[in-house]
Structure formats: structure tokens, C-alpha cells
Amino acid sequence: MQDKAIITNDSKSTECPVIIGTEGEKAIDIAKLRSQTGCITFDDGYGNTGSCLSKITFIDGDLGILRYRGIDIAELSEKSDFIETAYLIIWGRFPTADERKAFEAQMAENAKLPDSMTQQFEGFPKDAHPMAVLTSMINAMSCHHHDLFEIKDEKSFARATAILLSKIRLIAAYTYKHANGDALFCQQGEGGYAAQFLSMMFSWPGKRYVADADVARALDLLFILHADHEQNCSTSTVRMVASSEANLFTATSAGVSALWGKLHGGANQAVLEMLEGIKNSGDSIESVIAKCKQKDSDFRLMGFGHRVYKNFDPRAKIIKVACDKVLDKLGKSDPLLQIAKDLEKAALSDSYFVDRKLYPNVDFYSGIIMRAIGIPTNMFTVMFAIGRMPGWIANWKETNENPKARIYRPRQIYMGPKLRSYEDAKKG
């Protein structure tokens, strides 16, 4: 097998090593390209750039494969739960029974927010977007944990991880209560991670919410399916911030910010709004599909398309099945589910979508489940963030532990004005 690539430019050639991943993917290592040929590479949007070596998650976008630490997502989502999956993603192996117990105990110890953080909610307008609150509050954790700025040992890392995974739920629940003008009351709740979160969200003084086991399981499943996705926009952001040796809290808060946009995690909110728009306007499915195809239209079918998946998104398949199950269990029928299914059917038989390999992604059906559970639409991306936290933590850890790590610092190709004087620039 060829283990080098020759790149020639202006009659200068360089031999670049070819790196081969565990699953056979090949990458040309161009680290010496500039020093040997004077050239850098250009890859707008990083569509063809490998930014790191990672052992966490494998995706084959052509075959629709997603694996965490080598285990297929379909198998994990059937057999595991969120905490076990989070542990696997972060530490690379399943916890023993004792390790799991200890980790859950550490999470329980760190479940509360310091009073000053609870008071901070009062500073946010009630109509603040929950993602704005979440990113601020996660960053605010840095103010309370100076001792975890530099994590040099496993014990401190485990504590920081327990703090983040535990407190992000309460921050989400308090964000919801604050937006509704309710007291920031926390009912710890029984059951697993998702059941406890639902109890924090929907319990009020004197009215304890106990999550239905199937409903809690559906949310847990969503968390598992969102737990990592290799070098997506938010995870690359976390690695970028981590590369400057910034602390775990501030790096994951940057991840939350990157996730918010509607081309990334914000798509789940955008999908629901799109489906509601179609329902309220009475627009036909054909007219919506036609709108996507109009030249000069920037309308996109939200929840469709993916940079990497060009066949199907395995997470979307699992979520679609779960959607029917949850609605059945709750005895609910949601007209938006039928609209979503009709849209999917129409798109998958339309040459515009077929030619561009556009399929439903993880965000297409997830909102229907969250809506059935009672989570408000503007909090959907917060649910994504809770699920993605293990992936961000694992990627921060991998960056932090890499002895060869360097600060992330891409180059650019300058296309601005050539040297000109201050006076000439003022003349315009």
C-alpha cells in the first residue's frame, strides 16, 4: 500500500506521508508542505481536512456508520444507557459496577448549583434564549472551580466531568423555570439520568413529577444518539479552545455556542418551527419541496442533509422508530409527525434531494419526541447540548492529553487590499 504522496508545485516537490486510520481511511499529512514548497492548502469549510487523530468516534458517511469507541450506535442505543455511554466515550471503556456507582455518587454530590450561580439567573431576561443562558452558565462554572483550570490528574478530571454532566441538567431545568417566572425549585428525582432531569424540569413545590419509564428511556436514547459525532462544528470548537490550554468549562461553553446555530444543533428547533409553519399555512408538501429547489431561494429543508452522511444518518433511523413508540405510549398523535413523514417521502423521491444525497439527519424527528415529552421548542438545542457534553469532554481530554498537541492555528489566503497609505484609504 502506498504510504506517501508526492505534491509538486512550481517544480518543487515534496513527499508527504500518508496516514492510514484503523478503518482504512487515508490522509495526506501536509505538515511540511509549506516549508518545502511554499504552499499551504485551501479547504473552505474544512470539508476535506482531518484536524486531529482521534480514538473516540468513527463515522463512515457513505455507509451510514456511526460507532462510539468501536461500538455501533444501533447496538449501543439498544443495550446501553446515557451514563454508561458517556463513560465509554470519555474513558474509552465501560465502567465496572463499582466505577459506575462511584461516578454516579460524584454526580449526585455535584448536582446543586452554588447560591451565587442560582442568583445569576435573575440577571437574564425571561425571554432570553435558553442556549444563551446555557453557554453563559457553563462558562460561569469556571468562576467557581479555579482548582480545575489545569487538570493534571485523573481524579480532578473525573470531578470536573461529574460537575459538568450533573450541573448542565439543573441549569437547563432552572432556565425553563426562570423563563416561566417560576421559583428555581429543584426536585432531585429518582431513576436514571434522563428521569432525574425530567423530574428537575417538571416538579414544582408540592407537585412531584415522576417520569414514565418509557418517556425517560426515549429521552435517554436521544442523549445517547447525540453523545458524540467526531469533528462537527461544536466539537472542533471545543478542541480549538482546548488547544490554547483553556479550561474544560470554558471550552465546553464555547461548544454550546457553536452548537446553537441552525445549521448545527439549532436545526432541531428550526425543524419544529418549519413543520409548524407548514401546518399553520396549509402549504402543500409539493410547494415546500419546490421552494427548496427555487434558484436564488435560501430556503432549506431543515433537518435534511449532512456534511458527512451521504446515504443515511443512522441516528435519524433510530429516532424515527422511537418517535412512533413515544407517541403511542403517550397516546398522543402529532400532526407534525405526519407532515415530517410526508416531507421525507417526497424529498427522497425528488431528484434534487437524491442527486445531492440529502437525507433526514438527527434533527429531523428528534423534536417530535421532545415536544411529546413537553419540552418547549426553544429548549430543543439545550437537550442536544446535554447529550453532546460527553463528546465535548472526551475531545477536550484527548486534546489535553496529546503530548504532541500544538495550538490550533489555521492559515488563510489573504484576498484584501495591497499595501496602501492611510490617506489613500481615506479617499476610498
**CB nearer to ligand CMC: pick between 87 and 304:** 304
Tell me how far, at minimum, the Cβ of 121 lies from ligand CMC, in Å. Answer: 27
Q: Contact positions toward ligand CMC, by CB under 6 A?
A: 45, 232, 263-265, 267, 292, 300-307, 356, 358, 361-363
Tell me how far, at minimum, the Cβ of 197 lies from ligand CMC, in Å. Answer: 20
Residue nearest to ligand CMC (CB): 305
Tell me how far, at minimum, the Cβ of 99 lies from ligand CMC, in Å. Answer: 30
187 touches 111 (CB < 8 A): no
Is 146 a catalytic site residue?
no
Residue from 178, 306, 313, 334 carrying the catalytic annotation:
306
Tell me how far, at minimum, the Cβ of 64 lies from ligand CMC, in Å. Answer: 13
> Grid coordinates representing 366?
428528534
**CB nearer to ligand CMC: pick between 144 and 300:** 300
**CB nearer to ligand CMC: pick between 194 and 225:** 225
Is 363 a catalytic site residue?
yes
Tell me how far, at minimum, the Cβ of 90 lies from ligand CMC, in Å. Answer: 20
**CB nearer to ligand CMC: pick between 173 and 302:** 302
Residue in 282, 371, 283 with CA at minimum distance from that of residue 334:
371
**CB nearer to ligand CMC: pick between 151 and 362:** 362
**CB nearer to ligand CMC: pick between 61 and 92:** 61
Residue in 306, 293, 237 with CA at minimum distance from that of residue 60:
306
Query: Side by side, which strands form the sheet with 71-72?
Result: 57-60, 65-68, 71-72
Neighbours of 310 (CB within 10 A): 17
Tell me how far, at minimum, the Cβ of 264 lies from ligand CMC, in Å. Answer: 4
- Catalytically active residues are 306, 363
